[in-house]
Amino acid sequence: MKLLLVFSLLIPSMVFANSSKFQQVEQDAKVIEASLSAHIGISVLDTQTGEYWDYNGNQRFPLTSTFKTIACAKLLYDAEQGEINPKSTIEIKKADLVTYSPVIEKQVGQAITLDDACFATMTTSDNAAANIILNALGGPESVTDFLRQIGDKETRLDRIESELNEGKLGDLRDTTTPNAIVNTLNELLFGSTLSQDGQKKLEYWMVNNQVTGNLLRSVLPEGWNIADRSGAGGFGARSITAVVWSEAQSPIIVSIYLAQTEASIADRNDAIVKIGRSIFEVYSSQSR
């Protein structure tokens, strides 16, 4: 697998893509919005050309578990600054358990390193592991401060798991915009915030995600690679952020957010798959 690291030498200025290229993606999004009575936001960035396209890209959506990439990037950053030791251990208590903690629930009474907690939350979306990280960093506000420091003025984290997944309409807490999160991922994976070792580790965690096989990975073009992080929450919230690339295709950063729908999780997953397939077709057709 070609590592993303080799693409991080230059981040071009962003330019808006020719909308005709994404006409089918937009059409598919509108059809899905209507059929699911949902609100959908999408952002796509070609890291080589700086070309981007969005659909409701500046509107707010619940972060859900897509915040975990940022929290673990903050851990890596603080470690590089000498402010935290990722090998330090935290004793796991029964009181630490929250809904969906598949790794941590088996380790009550044991100790876990912060590094291993990030691996757990990034690869299985373990919520108790995420809270361990947030507590070590200084709380949700420390993640928001980090975002402002690296230029993200929109994304905010206000609560911990599982409250942050509430997803109530009009609540600004624990939200992002598709465009903001794509730009932030671009900075974290290809910018100057993290060292190359830090970028490589963040990529490793995302590549080894175990809970997204039925989303974009299920329609990834042959020969392509993916590093991703998904999320789900109340009021129909469902989301995924991803970087996809191949030998012939420079990294594409994608964010897809759904909210305010009564659709089943299966239908929301299918919506992400359909939108992802349309996005991949844009770039697959270019390389034929």
Q: In the Cβ-directed half-sphere of 131, how many Cα atoms lie within 13 Å?
A: 21
Across all residues in the chain, what is the average pLDDT?
95
Contact yes or no for 175/62 (Cβ under 8 A): yes
Q: pLDDT: is 248 or 286 the higher one? A: 248
Alpha-carbon distance 83 to 125, whole Å? 25
Q: Decide if 15 is inside a domain.
A: no
Alpha-carbon distance 94 to 162, whole Å? 16
pLDDT band at 16 (very low <50, low <70, confident <90, very high): low
Residues carrying an active site annotation: 65
Contact yes or no for 178/43 (Cβ under 8 A): yes
Q: Decide if 5 is inside a domain.
A: no
pLDDT at 60: 99
Contact yes or no for 153/183 (Cβ under 8 A): no
- pTM of the complete model: 0.95
For residue 190, give the CATH number of its domain: 3.40.710.10
Domain range holding 263? 22-285
pLDDT at 285: 77
- The DSSP symbol for 53 reads E
The rounded percent of the chain whose pLDDT value lies above 90 is 91
Q: Decide if 37 is inside a domain.
A: yes
128-185: per-residue pLDDT in tens?
A: 999 999 999 999 999 999 999 999 999 999 999 999 999 999 999 999 999 999 999 9
Q: pLDDT: is 135 or 11 the higher one? A: 135
Q: Decide if 4 is inside a domain.
A: no
Question: Structure tokens of 157?
Answer: 């984290």
Q: Decide if 124 is inside a domain.
A: yes
Structural domain count of the chain: 1
Q: Decide if 236 is inside a domain.
A: yes
Q: Decide if 6 is inside a domain.
A: no
Query: Which residues 6+ apart lie within 8 Å of 4 measured at CB?
Result: 189, 190, 199, 200, 203, 227, 243, 245, 251
pLDDT at 11: 46
pLDDT band at 15 (very low <50, low <70, confident <90, very high): low
In this model, does residue 95 exceed pLDDT 50? yes
Q: Decide if 212 is inside a domain.
A: yes
